[in-house]
């Protein structure tokens, strides 16, 4: 039975990278409803990327479970998972000089059998993804010649070509300029409008506020707060998560976080 929804449910999840090592995530529980944009917000090293890798199924939890539309991630086959969940890592080594189109075509792997090479319809899907990400003009360029921001857009185009129900994006806007950040925000919103779920990580509260519907705030592997943006993104939660005093301003109905500059001692 193919999963058609995009609801994510995480229950009492714990994870450690080795048996004797410290727990990177402890008793993490949350639900993300279908068709929602959720930001995982927290300082560096708070476990955001680890959490994405767990939802992807790449890492196995030591406790708790992750369900997609009520089905345990551990029970899903690789092929099934790859059609439901797409992933963009923070950085992707650009291999050799694959062209951007050749790279985006890799996103079609979940729809091809073991020895099959991309078909004309895969090519069309890849072209459409390039168009949506606004990098059609780069299609013939080698991936190695792109800037960090352009590479990020290419990776986003690859996951668009994959066309999953759930998008996991690790720091998707970290290298983007203002115009491209806005483009990716719009892209994410259009995915939500199609009923897809987007989970992205960021350490910047304002990036989370600008594009997410809900926020999960993490600190040292524990959930500090979670819920809709306007309820969650307050001065108290930010102080708890980052240890800094901030002021919350209003920017067209969305909270804008401004740090209160303190003199150095």
Partner 1 sequence: MDLEREKPGHPEWRLWVIVGAVVLCLAVSALIGRYPKPFLTSLSDLSDNELARSLLIHLRLPRILMAFLLGAVLSASGAAFQMIFRNPLVDSGFLGVSQGAAFGASLGIVYFGGTSLGVQASAAAFGFLGLAASYLIARRIRWGDWVFRLLLAGISIAALYSAGTGVIKYLADPHKELPDITFWLLGGLWSVTWPDFWQVLPVAALGLSVILLMRWRVNLLSMRDETAFSLGLRPGRERLFVLSAAVAATAVLVCKAGQVTWVGLIVPHIARRLVGADARRLVPASIFIGGIFVLVCDDLARAALSGEIPLGILTSLFGTAVFIALLSTRRLKLR
Q: Is 2 in the site for partner 1 (CB under 8 A)?
A: no
Q: Is 79 in the site for partner 1 (CB under 8 A)?
A: yes
Q: Which is nearer to partner 1, 4 or 79 (CB)?
A: 79
The least CB distance from residue 70 to partner 1, in Å, is: 21
Q: Is 162 in the site for partner 1 (CB under 8 A)?
A: yes
Q: Is 43 in the site for partner 1 (CB under 8 A)?
A: no
The least CB distance from residue 79 to partner 1, in Å, is: 5
The least CB distance from residue 125 to partner 1, in Å, is: 13
Q: Which is nearer to partner 1, 92 or 204 (CB)?
A: 92
How far is residue 75's CA from residue 3's CA, in Å, rounded to a whole number?
12
How far is residue 124's CA from residue 178's CA, in Å, rounded to a whole number?
29
- Is residue 92 a contact partner of residue 151, using CB atoms and an 8 Å limit? yes
Contact residue for partner 1 among 70, 140, 243, 253 (CB under 8 A): 140
Q: Is 76 in the site for partner 1 (CB under 8 A)?
A: no
Displacement of CA 257 from its chain's centroid (Å): 21
Q: Is 58 in the site for partner 1 (CB under 8 A)?
A: yes
Q: Which is nearer to partner 1, 172 or 255 (CB)?
A: 172
- Is residue 121 a contact partner of residue 174, using CB atoms and an 8 Å limit? no
How many CB atoms are closer than 10 A to CB 29? 12
Site string for partner 1, 94-123 (x = CB under 8 A): xxxxxx-xx---xx-xx-x-xxxxxxx--x
How far is residue 75's CA from residue 96's CA, in Å, rounded to a whole number?
35
CA dist 4 → 35, 71, 214 (Å): 12, 12, 22
- Measured N-to-C along each axis, helices 120-133 and 178-193 cross at an angle, to the nearest 10 degrees, of 130
How far is residue 156's CA from residue 124's CA, in Å, rounded to a whole number?
16
Tokens of 10: 């995480």
Q: Is 175 in the site for partner 1 (CB under 8 A)?
A: no
The site for partner 1 (CB under 8 A) is made up of: 18, 53, 56-58, 78-79, 81-83, 85-87, 89, 92-99, 101-102, 106-107, 109-110, 112, 114-120, 123, 139-140, 142, 144, 162, 168
């Amino acid at each position: 039975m193919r999963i058609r929804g995009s609801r994510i449910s995480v229950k009492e999840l714990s994870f450690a990278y080795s048996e004797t090592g410290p727990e990177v995530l402890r008793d993490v529980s949350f639900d993300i409803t279908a068709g929602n944009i959720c930001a995982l917000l927290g300082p560096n090293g708070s476990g955001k990327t680890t959490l994405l890798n767990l939802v992807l199924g790449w890492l196995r939890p030591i406790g708790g479970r992750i369900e997609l539309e009520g089905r345990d991630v551990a029970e899903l086959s690789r092929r099934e998972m790859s059609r439901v969940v797409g992933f963009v890592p923070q950085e992707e080594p650009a291999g050799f000089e694959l062209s951007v189109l050749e790279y985006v075509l890799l996103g079609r792997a979940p729809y091809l059998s073991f020895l099959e090479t991309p078909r004309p319809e895969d090519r069309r899907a890849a072209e459409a993804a390039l168009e949506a990400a606004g990098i059609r003009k780069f299609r013939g360029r080698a991936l190695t010649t792109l800037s960090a921001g352009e590479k990020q857009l290419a990776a986003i185009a690859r996951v668009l070509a994959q066309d999953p129900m759930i998008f996991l994006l690790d720091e998707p806007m970290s290298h983007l300029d203002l115009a491209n950040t806005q483009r990716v925000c719009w892209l994410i919103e259009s995915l939500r409008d199609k009923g897809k779920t987007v989970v992205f990580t960021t350490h910047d509260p304002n990036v989370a506020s600008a594009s997410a519907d809900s926020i999960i705030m993490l600190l040292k592997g524990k959930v500090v707060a979670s819920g809709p943006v306007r309820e969650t993104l307050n001065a108290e939660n930010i102080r708890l998560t980052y240890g800094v005093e901030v002021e919350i301003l209003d920017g067209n109905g969305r909270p804008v976080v401004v740090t209160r500059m303190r003199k150095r001692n």
